[in-house]
Amino acid sequence: MPDYIDRLRGLREDHDLTQKDIAKVLGTSQTMYARYERRANELPLRHFITLCQYYKVSADDVLGFHSRQR
């Protein structure tokens, strides 16, 4: 079952972007961003929000929450 890191990696790849491209968006190094994707470091919330805005997706979608009809 994919988690939010897998979904963010998928978004990056779907947009034909490199880790270096996304690192620039986040204002960090490619090495640090690679550590996030490898789960060696936890992705900071501010970066998570920035990526949701950059990809124009909701946090719920990235986190795998699906709205339920009532």
- Averaged pLDDT, groups of 10, the chain, 70 residues long: 91 98 98 98 98 97 72
Annotated domain spans of the chain:
4-62
For 11-46, the DSSP string reads: HHHHTT--HHHHHHHHTS-HHHHHHHHTTSSPPPHH
Q: What is the CATH T-level fold of the domain 4-62, as seen in this structure?
A: 434 Repressor (Amino-terminal Domain) (1.10.260)
What is the C-alpha separation between 45 and 36, in angstroms, rounded? 12
pLDDT of residue 46: 98
pLDDT of residue 5: 97
pLDDT of residue 4: 96
What is the C-alpha separation between 68 and 52, in angstroms, rounded? 21
What is the C-alpha separation between 61 and 35, in angstroms, rounded? 22
pLDDT of residue 70: 42
pLDDT of residue 2: 74
